[in-house]
Amino acid sequence: MLNTAEPKTGNNPLAKPEIKEVIDRILDENRDRPGGLMVVLNEIQGQVGYVSEPIQLYVANRMQIPPSTVHGVVSFYSFFTTTPRGAHTIKFCMGTACYVGGVPQIIEKAKQVLGINPGQTTPDGQITLELCRCVGACSQAPVITVDEEVVGRIRPNKFPQIVHPLQKKAENN
């Protein structure tokens, strides 16, 4: 359930002027279009990276629609997230072929290597783990995606080789 109280500034992305400017621009450009709410939320997800409760309330207020309508859309569609994702996202395909092919063991290896569960982000903000439905690459099962790139026929012992370059990129930045 959406908390309709005024958001506190400590955890409010709108307290950052650059984020508020991006959201205001998106709202100004799209709020009157047919299907405007979906367009607005999709643009915010793409440019800000997430649609938190304070952002949802702000959008509802600016578009003059009930907060429950905005929250309903955000919570219904799995591509919207309410918390920031890491710089890199690894998704585990939970389709039948991948599940039977060993994706649960790959998830266990990921948890060991990164110290987080699916739905979480590493403390350094670099890697987010997520579960997803079938990605349509059943012939390559089991499959994960790394930043939307499909990696097939993966085995648990290969997961560290996939994730270490992402961690090295973070160390070099």
Binding residues: 93, 98, 134, 138
Question: Residue 48: enclosing H or E segment and its boundaries?
Answer: helix 36-48
The answer to whether the beta carbons of residues 106 and 131 sit under 8 Å apart is no
Assess contact for 88 and 125: CB atoms under 8 A. no
Binding site residues for [2Fe-2S] cluster, as ranges? 93, 98, 134, 138
Which residue reads 């958001």 in tokens?
7
Residue type, 60: A
| Helical (H) or strand (E) element with 18 | helix 17-30
Alpha helices, H only, 53-158 = 53-63, 67-76, 96-101, 103-114
- Here the tokens at position 63 are 């578009």
Among residues 48, 132, 54, which one has the least CA distance to residue 95? 132
